[in-house]
Amino acid sequence: MDFKKIENIFLITFLLLNMYLLVSYFNRNDIQQATSAPGQVNLIREMEQIGISIPTLQDEEQDVFYVQADSNQLLEDNVDQLENQAGSVAEDGSLYTSILSDPIVIEGNPEDGFTEEDYATLNAFIFNGSVLFGEDYMYLRYDRSQNRFVYAQEVEGLPVADGTSEISLFYGSDGNIISYQQTYAGPMIPQGSTQAVITDRQAIEVLFQNNEISSNSTVGQPILTYYRTLYLEDLSMYGPVWYVPVMDASGEKVLRVDAVERTIISDPVTTVIPEELQEEEPDEESDLEETE
């Protein structure tokens, strides 16, 4: 028996089988791409056909940590450092409300837009020691519904955009800022390994498929943020959530999608807008602090 010939036959058969499997694999991938791409295009096209304006999307895959913040009283413990303002800390230590001795003058307005000088003035106020832990925050947006500039704590390159760690600078009818509120979650530590998150395009698709975006709406630029997913007495956990601004017939709103679970998130903490703060007078027993 010619074993060499049999060996060659087996070798050729093996190589042909491998080639067949390799070609089948690439053909299957081509089919999957050909069937999935039209679905994506059609969904975006469907949104555009009913008048929904969509921004340029990154459609970028990312991996993000969950992070943990321990409970603290950092605002209450450090409020004495502040100057040229009078403020009070909420009973639970989570919220600081301040009235400024010297208003921040803003040249622009919400209707015509704010200038680069306006944003530079606000950044200088936040980052140069006029607020507590200002270096930990980043500018997020101007909230038209509540007339406030919002800065959010930055963690792992992402803003904490659920209200639990933000600074709200309230824009007055006279074009000045005389008051602000601050929450601060404190230092955050990554937990476990990173998690793959959906893209900005997929987040918008989730909202559209769940009838959260109506016709003739304008979708703003989605932002990947942190959102408090677990709140305990001693700690809080934050996970990645897509923050999607939308303008429709009812006004401006923010929609949120869990970037891991693909579920829609309900509204977070509601900001308490201070009313007539300049008319309030501190008493001796309050925790009001003022420094000239």
**pLDDT, tens digit, 9 for 90 and up, residues 66-95:** 999 999 999 999 999 999 999 999 999 999
Q: What is the pLDDT of residues 185-211, one digit of tens each?
A: 999 999 999 999 999 999 999 999 999
User: How crowded is residue 12: how many other Cβ atoms within 10 Å of its Cβ?
Assistant: 10
Q: Please report the domains of the chain, with CATH numbers, ordered by start residue.
A: 46-67+188-265 (2.40.128.690), 72-185+272-290 (3.30.310.160)
DSSP 238: E
Do 191 and 237 touch, CB atoms closer than 8 A?
yes
Q: What is the percent of the chain where pLDDT is above 90?
A: 74
Q: Which two tokens stand for residue 262?
A: 């693909």
Report residue 235 CA to chain centroid gap: 20
Does the structure show a pLDDT above 70 at 282? Answer: no
- Looking at the DSSP bridge assignments, the partners of residue 158 are 155
Locus of tokens 């408090």: 228
What pairs with residue 171 in β-bridges? 177
Residue 45 clears pLDDT 60, i.e. is over it = yes
pLDDT-derived band at 6 (thresholds 50, 70, 90) equals: low
From CA 183, how far away is CA 166, in angstroms rounded? 5
pLDDT of 214 strictly over 50 = yes
Cβ atoms of 156 and 64 within 8 Å: the answer is yes
